[in-house]
Amino acid sequence: MAYVAVKGGERAIDNAHAWLDSDRRGDPAVAEIGVDQIREQLGRSVDRVMAEGSLYDRDLAALAIKQAQGDLIEAAFLLRAFRTTLPRFAASTPVETAAMRIRRRISAVFKDMPGGQILGPTYDYTHRLLDFTLAAGHTPAPALREAAEQAVAPRIHDILGHEGLIEPDVASDAEPFDITREPLAFPAGRDARLQSLARGDEGFLLAMGYSTQRGWGGTHPFVGEIRVGEVLVEIVPPELGFAIEIGEITLTECQMVNQFAGSRTVPPQFTRGYGLVFGHGDRRAMAMALVDRSLRASELGEAATAPAQIPEFVISHCDNIEATGFVEHLKLPHYVDFQSELETIRRMRRDVEAALLQEAAE
């Protein structure tokens, strides 16, 4: 066989893209899915893509999901690459989750409390039985939402805080670190860590949080509260000097309450792990709160030995856009390096074989 130089990379790429386009469309006899359908009917996918893509835009997230054939990491990547090109007009004031318009709010530490427990639209108590009526198409019965719509709920740590049983919230006017603009260095502040976790890979956060429950850096967590709902986003334009509303976003917030034995200077009290994510995502917010608390090990004077307690390990590996890029780059050609490895291993084998021959001769 004669050697034909590997030409035509350009044509191959064009052909691959065309094939991908038709593969994405699937059977043309089946109706094409609309971006609005994804936005309305695959809301949890949209939420995850917005969180990991760190851009709150339900329509663009739905488009990304369609474009990525439902590959959510690929969709988050599309959103991130778009986000990075956007100009920054302003930074919002901190969102006020205490004033959230609540859809769901549960606590595992108090049976009842001001504002009450509201399950909201949750899968928690569904029986995981495939619902074949959904396959046939189905119109749901109207849902009762009044209880939720009237709820005004103080945050759980405001309740515990009255007795000084939980570490206080420390307000700060310092400019927060921005992981999208500045290179992260270690040790990283909690602001940088929380930003990284908020857009970290859900599977990774889940596994890290889970590992702390199985003894790899236990934190004795209780779900102080999970709340899901809409909050207002406000900015203060310099020319006005006062806050104006620019929109509303859905958030899930998790306050984890963790045991703490106290130290020489601090009496025993509960500490907190915090999770705040775009959209409706209990799993994601809870995992984030577990990991946030375990990453505070050194700060609280605990021995940091488990993976989930090592900030550099967790933060450097939680980003699935970085991770998928580097893992998948192994697909790229490496023949130059492999060639040098081939020559090296051949030389090493020659050396060993020569030594064996000499040994046999002696």
Partner 1 sequence: MNGYNFAYLDEQTKRMIRRALLKAVAIPGHQIPFGSREMPLPYGWGTGGIQVTAAVLGPDDVLKVIDQGADDTTNAVSIRRFFARTAGVATKTHTSVATIIQTRHRIPEQALTEGQILVYQVPMPDPLAKLEPSRAETTRMHGLAEYGLMHVKLYEDITRFGHVSISYDYPVMVNDRYLMSPSPIPAYDNPKLSRNPALQLFGAGREKRIYAIPPHTEVRSLDFDDHPFRTTRAPHACDLCGDDASYLDEVVTDNQGGRMFVCSDTDHCASRQALKEAAE
Q: Which residues bind partner 1 (CB under 8 A)?
A: 1, 3, 5-10, 12-13, 77, 80-81, 83-85, 87, 180-187, 312, 316, 321-322, 324-329, 332-337, 339-344, 347-348, 351
The neighbour count for residue 204, using CB atoms within 10 Å, is 18
CB of 37 to partner 1, least distance (A): 26
CB of 34 to partner 1, least distance (A): 24
Q: For residue 228, which of 112, 346, 124, 338 has the smallest C-alpha distance?
A: 124
Write out the E strands in the chain.
Answer: 101-106, 221-235, 244-258, 271-278
- What angle do helix axes 43-53 and 202-213 make, rounded to 10 degrees? 90
CB of 304 to partner 1, least distance (A): 13
Nearer to partner 1, 29 or 303 (CB): 303
One-letter amino acid for residue 297 of the chain: A
Q: Are 270 and 166 spatial neighbours (Cβ–Cβ below 8 Å)?
A: yes
Q: How far apart are CA 333 and CA 39, in angstroms?
A: 38
Q: How far apart are CA 318 and CA 196, in angstroms?
A: 7
Nearer to partner 1, 99 or 348 (CB): 348
CB of 333 to partner 1, least distance (A): 5
The answer to whether the bond into 187 is cis (omega within 30° of 0) is: yes
CB of 58 to partner 1, least distance (A): 20
Nearer to partner 1, 54 or 107 (CB): 54
Nearer to partner 1, 158 or 299 (CB): 299
Nearer to partner 1, 75 or 159 (CB): 75
Look up residue 166 and give its DSSP letter.
B
Nearer to partner 1, 147 or 355 (CB): 355
CB of 92 to partner 1, least distance (A): 21
Nearer to partner 1, 37 or 344 (CB): 344
**Which residue bears the tokens 């009255």?**
162
CB of 322 to partner 1, least distance (A): 5
DSSP character string of 298-358: TTTT----SGGG-HHHHHHH--HHHHHHHHHGGGS--HHHHHHHHHHHHHHHHHHHHHHHH
